[in-house]
Copies of this chain bind each other. A is one copy, B any other.
Amino acid sequence: MSEMSLNRVLVLHLVVVLALCVLSVVGVRVARADDALPSWNDTSTKQSIVHFVDTVTKPGSPAYVAPAERIAVFDNDGTLWSEQPVYVQLAFLLDRVKTLAPQNPEWNDRQPFKAALEGDMKALAQSGEHGLLELVMATHAGNTTEEFASLVEDWLATARHPKLGRPYTELVYQPMLELLAYLRANGFKTFIVSGGGIEFMRPWTERVYGVPPERVVGSSIKTRYEVRDGKPLLVRLPEIDFIDDKAGKPVGIHRHIGRRPIAAFGNSDGDFQMLEWTTAGAGPRLGLVVHHDDADREYAYDRKSAMGRLDRGLDEAAQRGWLVVSMQRDWKRVFPAD
């Protein structure tokens, strides 16, 4: 073999290495743009999402957003998992009332406990916000933060959805799991911003959604630091700390994240202000509303639903430039097991 042949071999080697590098970069790009959302049908909704992500991540583009500023916020109930026939946390609460009833015999004759024990949703609704609050305090407070986290995990391990028969953590929306992962792969920080209890979500959001506890924002009760027999504890008090719903959502976002998001995902009018706050910022913004119009695969509800009512959001989405996801049309699959 001549000197020239050797050079040729080395050059060839170099070309192959470079080609592999180029291919791997292109491969990543293709994977991000086209294959990261396989459970989304190829409709304009998906195209708009991908276009937004491409726009804000393209270096040198005037609409480029630095990774530190790529904050995306997701509602939980009805946006990441099912909220019908009742919010999952309400199902947890009703089961907790039953578990605690033997130690509280007076509940058998006292509202709203009687209604909770009998599963009388009408009487429960009649007890109003005050009644619900009373139930929350009786079932969610008085324990330590560690005890409460265990209660939630133990309950989720055995509880089943009344209609779909599966654990609640399997009734998460596959297209939204892909969306969370797709955004993170593109340098976004993904947060949950839910009206639900922050401590009801934190024990499992990292495992199920890839969202760690410090990126969960929600409603909360107060806690108190105590040292008992030399052991420090955080005790959960029967006192509301914060309601992370409606106009509370931008407040919760600011309090917790300290930056205005550039993308927000919701499904009900409880998310209206979060979407409004997010999309009112300068530069490209993404607002998205999941519309539950799929009675066959999940549920169909909007303007008149007791849980996750969507009315004003449906009226104003178009004029505000928010995408409305039709579950029926835009989602190829609903749940991971489908």
Please determine whether A251 and B276 come into contact, CB atoms closer than 8 angstroms: no
Please determine whether B213 and A225 come into contact, CB atoms closer than 8 angstroms: no
Q: Which residues of B have CB within 8 Å of A251? A: 222-225, 234
A82 and B232 alpha carbons, distance in the complex (Å) = 30
Contacting chain B: which of A1-9, A31-39, A292-300? Answer: A1-9
Q: Which residues of B have CB within 8 Å of A256? A: 214, 256
A276 and B227 alpha carbons, distance in the complex (Å) = 10
Please determine whether B259 and A213 come into contact, CB atoms closer than 8 angstroms: yes
Please determine whether A255 and B223 come into contact, CB atoms closer than 8 angstroms: yes
Q: Looking across the interface, which residue of chain B has its beta carbon closest to that of A246?
A: B225
A51 within 8 A of B: no
- Binary per-residue interface labels of chain A (203-221) against chain B in the complex, 1 for a CB within 8 Å, 0 otherwise: 0001000001111100010
Please determine whether B250 and A202 come into contact, CB atoms closer than 8 angstroms: no
Please determine whether A254 and B1 come into contact, CB atoms closer than 8 angstroms: no
Q: Which residues of B have CB within 8 Å of A222? A: 251
A83 and B186 alpha carbons, distance in the complex (Å) = 39
Q: Looking across the interface, which residue of chain B has its beta carbon closest to that of A223?
A: B251
A280 within 8 A of B: yes
A231 within 8 A of B: yes
A196 and B172 alpha carbons, distance in the complex (Å) = 39
A251 and B234 alpha carbons, distance in the complex (Å) = 7
Q: Which of B198, B206, B234, B255 contacts A68 (CB 8 A)?
A: B206
Q: Which of B1, B225, B231, B280 contacts A250 (CB 8 A)?
A: B225
Q: Which residues of B have CB within 8 Å of A276? A: 227, 232
A31 and B214 alpha carbons, distance in the complex (Å) = 29
Please determine whether B213 and A258 come into contact, CB atoms closer than 8 angstroms: yes
Q: Which residues of B have CB within 8 Å of A71? A: 214
Q: Which residues of B have CB within 8 Å of A273? A: 225, 232
A189 within 8 A of B: yes
A241 and B248 alpha carbons, distance in the complex (Å) = 14
Q: Which residues of B have CB within 8 Å of A250? A: 225, 232, 234
A247 within 8 A of B: yes
A103 and B116 alpha carbons, distance in the complex (Å) = 57
A257 within 8 A of B: yes
Q: Which residues of B have CB within 8 Å of A259? A: 212-214
Q: Which of B9, B202, B258 contacts A214 (CB 8 A)?
A: B258
Q: Which of A98-122 contact B (CB under 8 A)?
A: none
Q: Which of A219-275 contact B (CB under 8 A)?
A: 220, 222-225, 227, 231-232, 234, 241, 247-248, 250-251, 254-259, 273
A145 within 8 A of B: yes
22 A-B pairs whose Cβ atoms sit less than 8 Å apart in the complex: A1-B1, A1-B5, A6-B6, A6-B9, A13-B13, A191-B214, A202-B258, A212-B259, A213-B258, A213-B259, A214-B215, A214-B259, A220-B255, A224-B247, A225-B247, A225-B250, A225-B273, A225-B277, A231-B280, A232-B250, A232-B277, A241-B255
